[in-house]
Structure 1
Amino acid sequence: MRIDNQKLVDIALTLNDPDHNVLGPNLYIESCQLYSHASTSSLVIAGVTMTDCTFEQIEPLLNFHFENAHLINTSFIGTYDGCDFGDWDSNKRSSIKDCDFTEAKVNNSRFINCDMASIKLPSWPIFSIINPCNAHEYVIGQDWPGDLGIDLDVITDMPAECSAIIMNAEKLASDNELSITDIYYILSNIPGFKTSL
């Protein structure tokens, strides 16, 4: 399916084509509910502005870049793992602001060139590291249990354009044989660490 060159207001859209779900170019979606069954390979964003919408990802979305998309005051539901929001080079091409992820499961996902104060994130065990590049020197200078140091090295070794990286502490704890309580106290010392309990 392909939706382009129009403005849609206050309707429900279901993205369930197994091969191609193309949004754009010149697509403006306002106050709509989007239900996406699309996979990384079948979802294509070719130019969309989404305002005051709800985007519900029914199947987990893995390693997807919301490029060529302007996401404004939109709520995200579902699982997003390894996803990027925003643009490395120009906010004229992609941007995100005033969006709500409190009902989403987010892991290993980056928010790029954006104001994180405008983004609502899930509560613990989801956490963020704001401006992760500023935490990298601290991370590589510490002794960490298990392979946690390797994980933290990777997630803080980011360009300055990365405003935040969002991680799931349960996965880090499981991978490193730590309790969720222990990993909270370990992570809370990292510069830029942020979560809500």
Structure 2
Amino acid sequence: MITFRNREIANEQLVLDSKTELYYLGPALTLRNCTLVVKVPRKALVVNQVRLIDCTIEVARVLKNFGWDSVHLKGCRFKGRFVGNDFGNWRDATQATIVDCDFSSAHVDQCRFLHCDVRTLRFPPWPYFTLFAPARRAAELAALPWPGKYGRVIAQSIAEEPPSTVALTYAAPDLAKFCGTTPEAIKALIEKLDGVYY
């Protein structure tokens, strides 16, 4: 087990790459102006009560279904592939925050942004798209004729988002592949919507 806790680290590069150890970040860890390179899968990484300020977070492999629900993120840049990640905390807005962060150079698919001000965030442009306020607009979004064989599955999953979900980002090529359609068909649908960034 490799642990970073009860300290502040500034202007360093932390590479999490052990093939045999688990990494524990926190509690009471602050990284400032650091580069955090994650080369381990979700099951080898635990974060708890961590502050990342003006950091670059690079994932060298897909980071799938990871919860940033006890991390405060401010001014961070994300690179690499994030699939099914939750940024913020859907139960308690004080447990995790995300502000002034940049995802424009990241692959972001099926990621939720919770209890945050999306106006401070930069999302990746097309072929990615971000639905704003999906929980509040659940009925509207679920009623749309999402294309492809599994379009109804997508509509249903959007309708079931918790109220704290303020944005939901998809990679159109990945969604199109899952649904058995094309990114162009998805774009034709979202072009008719308000509250979407692409």
Q: TM-score, normalised by structure 2?
A: 0.92
Pairwise mapping of residues 22-171 of structure 1 onto structure 2 (< 5 A)?
Answer: 22-146=24-148, 147-171=150-174
Give the Cα–Cα distance (whole angstroms) in 1 for the partners of residues 179 and 70 of structure 2. Answer: 37
Shift of 1:160: 1.6
Aligned residues of 1:138 and 1:190 also touching (Cα < 8 A): no
The 8 Å contact of residues 135 and 190 in structure 1, kept in 2 or not, is answered as no
Checking the alignment, whether the CA contact within 8 Å between 1:139 and 1:190 is kept in structure 2 is no
Cα pair distance change 1:144/1:121, threshold 3 Å: closer
Displacement of 1:164: 0.6
SS of equivalent residue, structure 2 residue 103: strand
Partner of 1:5: 6
Q: Which amino acid aligns with 1:6?
A: R
Percent sequence identity is: 28
Letter in 1 for 2:32: E
Task: Please report how far the alpha carbon of residue 13 of structure 1 lies from its aligned counterpart in structure 2 after TM superposition.
Answer: 0.7
Using the TM superposition, give the Cα deviation of residue 191 of structure 1 relative to its aligned residue in structure 2, in angstroms.
4.4
Contact 2:145/2:151 (CA < 8 Å) preserved in 1? no
Task: Kindly state the Cα deviation for residue 190 of structure 1 after the two structures are TM-superposed.
Answer: 3.7
SS in 1 for 2:90: coil
Unmatched tracts of structure 1, length 5 or more: none
Where in structure 2 are there 5+ consecutive unaligned residues?
A: none
CA contact (8 A) 1:135 1:191 kept: no
CA separation in 1, counterparts of 2:122 and 2:135? 21
Give the secondary structure class of the aligned counterpart of 2:42.
coil
2-structure distance, mates of 1:92, 1:137: 28
Deviations 1:118-170 (A, max 9, x none): 11111101111111023321233344433212212212421221011111111
Q: Secondary structure of the equivalent of 2:61?
A: strand
CA shift for structure 1 position 115: 0.5
Counterparts in 2 of 1:143 and 1:35: CA distance versus 1, 3 Å: closer
Q: Residues 40-87 of structure 1: CA distance to partner in whole angstroms, max 9, x if unpaired?
A: 101100211010110101111010101211000000111010100001
